[in-house]
Amino acid sequence: MTIEVDLATPLRIADLRAARDPITVVAGPEVRDRVTASRVFLTKVLGDDRAVYGSTTGFGALVGYAGRADLRDQADNTLAHLGAGQGPDIALDVVRATMLIRARSLAQGASGVSPHVIDALVAMLGTTFTPAMPRLGSVGASGDLIPLGAAAQALRGRGHAYVDGERLPAAAALDRAGLEPLPLDGRDALALVNGTSLTTAALALALDRVRSSHRVIQLLTCLLADLLGCDPQFLDADLLDRFAHPGAIDVAATMRAVLSGVTKGKRPLQEPYSIRCSPQLLGAAEDALRYVDGVVTADLAGVSDNPIFEAAGDKVVHGGNFFGQPAAFAGDMLTMVIAQIGNLAERQLDLLVDPVRNNGLPPMLAAGPGQQHGMQGVQLASTALIAEIRRDSMPASMQSLPTNLHNQDVIPLGTQAALRAWDQAELLSLITGSLAVGLRQAVHVGSRTPTAPHTRTIFDALAAAVPPVDPDRPLDGDVRAAAGVLAKLEISLISDSYPSL
């Protein structure tokens, strides 16, 4: 069934997720009226000979010079110099989410765009047409100029685009998708590129992935505690109430529910921190994710353009709504969360394969140690994955350096922070998938079976997807399969405890 998204209302992360495939986007009378009114106001302003950045001026550091006299010519003046991006193309689901966010921003009627621009974005999102956007080139300061410039050019039939996943010259891609090249004047072109839509898309989709992994590691920590026979008092409600942090209180409540009915074993009084302190760690992550939730919600509701046209107040306001500092801080925070959740999962796997700490199960959970090696390769790979995340965790938001003849003398680098978090979120899911394979294997080599109903459900789902490692086999596919199973399972078990964006 095709998803329907109404541009009259703020977007949700679920809308962005759906946009990876063709979707029905509605731009009804309310949207059309306010976009048309904004465009009429722009015409009035230009008729009054008032200065409007990008319509009567050059761009960036060249704002002091007059732009081209013909506004249709000004589109080329806007876009041609932005064709400087490098690197691989950005993932198509991120690009399509970007275009949906841009459509919603423009649909709020504060950008002065032609109504046919909204129509073109709506039509594009109903097909598999996806602009080819270069990964490198944005500093997130005047929005995502270079990647969005490539998208605008693709809509005009220039550059490259994808249809049904195939990369083609943009003109051929438009033709195959049944779309017409998009005519733009200078204001239309600048409004398409002068915003943080790529940064917001990458951040929102990264948040979606990390939210899933955060819920998954709660499930896996509960399964680990059950298989080892841990005393569940580390989740005690009075204990966490004394801690006083809302995220930890809520995470512990969820984990207690998952472990309801568990039978205590004969473990030592105090578990290693990777179990005992898990509600405090994951609770702090929950608090951080709630901050990122707020940034994403605001970004999805806002207008990241310059200038802003306020017809009711007869104002053209020049400012910096395209400055992606909130997303830069949020992306860096998301990376810290990813690193610490990944570290927790990797350490829990290390505990599970260690016969000194795993109740005497075979080393590496090998069915025949020496003749077989069980989880040894998976543990090595998970250590490499967390090392990769940690190596690339330097905050982007503190790396400001001047550019554009010091017009952009401070920059947020939110695009880098958001795209990096999106990359790392995929690695995090592989680490949790690795732990899941280990937990499935632990029962095969002698751990007790789950004693709580919910942990039994988790284990049964894993056992159905991942056969025992006996004899050894390549496990890369099993790790991905386990990650996929858990991503579906967490929705049914605990996702109701969290915000729905």
Q: Which of 71-85, 352-366, 422-436 has the lowest mean pLDDT?
A: 71-85
Determine the pLDDT at residue 289.
Answer: 98
* 3-state SS assignment for residue 86: strand
Is 451 a residue whose pLDDT tops 70? yes
- Which residues fall within 8 angstroms of residue 338, CB to CB, at 6 or more apart? 210, 213, 389, 421, 424, 425, 427, 428
Is 1 a residue whose pLDDT tops 60? no
Q: What is the mean pLDDT of residues 402-420?
A: 82
Q: Which of 354-358, 389-393, 395-399 has the lowest mean pLDDT?
A: 395-399
pLDDT tier, 288 (very low <50, low <70, confident <90, very high otherwise) = very high
Residue 488, token pair as written in the block: 């579906």
**Token pair 């998708």 in the structure block, residue:** 177
Tens of pLDDT along 436-450? Answer: 999 999 999 999 999
Is 500 a residue whose pLDDT tops 70? no
pLDDT tier, 80 (very low <50, low <70, confident <90, very high otherwise) = confident
Determine the pLDDT at residue 499.
Answer: 43
pLDDT tier, 35 (very low <50, low <70, confident <90, very high otherwise) = very high
Q: What is the mean pLDDT of the chain?
A: 93
Determine the pLDDT at residue 495.
Answer: 56
Is 216 a residue whose pLDDT tops 90? yes
What dihedral do alpha carbons 289, 294, 300, 302 form, nearest 10°?
Answer: -150
Whether 337 contacts 288, CB under 8 Å:
yes
Q: What is the 3-state secondary structure (H, E, C) of 334-400?
A: HHHHHHHHHHHHHHHHHHHHCCCCCCCCCHHHCCCECCECCCHHHHHHHHHHHHHHHHCCCCCCCCC
pTM score, whole prediction: 0.95
For residue 403, the 8-state DSSP code is: B
In this structure, the chain runs to a length of 501
Distance of CA 305 to CAs 6, 260, 261, 265, Å?
Answer: 20, 50, 54, 59
Q: What is the mean pLDDT of residues 479-500?
A: 77
Q: What is the mean pLDDT of residues 252-261?
A: 96
Is 475 a residue whose pLDDT tops 60? yes
Determine the pLDDT at residue 501.
Answer: 39
- Between 151 and 323, whose confidence is greater? 151
Is 127 a residue whose pLDDT tops 50? yes
What dihedral do alpha carbons 398, 404, 408, 413 form, nearest 10°?
Answer: -30
Determine the pLDDT at residue 2.
Answer: 66
Determine the pLDDT at residue 394.
Answer: 87
What dihedral do alpha carbons 385, 390, 391, 394 form, nearest 10°?
Answer: 150
Residue-range domains of the chain with CATH: 4-195 (1.10.275.10), 206-311+320-402+409-497 (1.20.200.10)
Q: What is the mean pLDDT of residues 222-239?
A: 97
Distance of CA 57 to CAs 33, 187, 324, Å?
Answer: 28, 11, 23
Determine the pLDDT at residue 264.
Answer: 94
Tens of pLDDT along 294-331? Answer: 999 999 999 999 898 998 899 999 988 888 999 999 99
State the Cα–Cα distance between residues 363 and 228, nearest whole angstrom: 15
Q: Among candidates 299, 302, 260, which has minimal Cα distance to 415?
A: 299
Is 53 a residue whose pLDDT tops 80? no
- DSSP bridge partners of 403: 408
Whether 291 is catalytic: no
Q: Among candidates 286, 423, 457, 275, which has minimal Cα distance to 358?
A: 275
Q: What is the mean pLDDT of residues 460-471?
A: 97
**Token pair 């801690």 in the structure block, residue:** 243
Whether 362 contacts 469, CB under 8 Å:
no
The 10 Å Cβ neighbour count of residue 175 is: 15
pLDDT tier, 337 (very low <50, low <70, confident <90, very high otherwise) = very high
Q: Which of 180-184, 270-274, 398-402, 460-464 has the lowest mean pLDDT?
A: 398-402
pLDDT above 70 as % of the chain:
96
Is 12 a residue whose pLDDT tops 70? yes
Is 496 a residue whose pLDDT tops 70? no
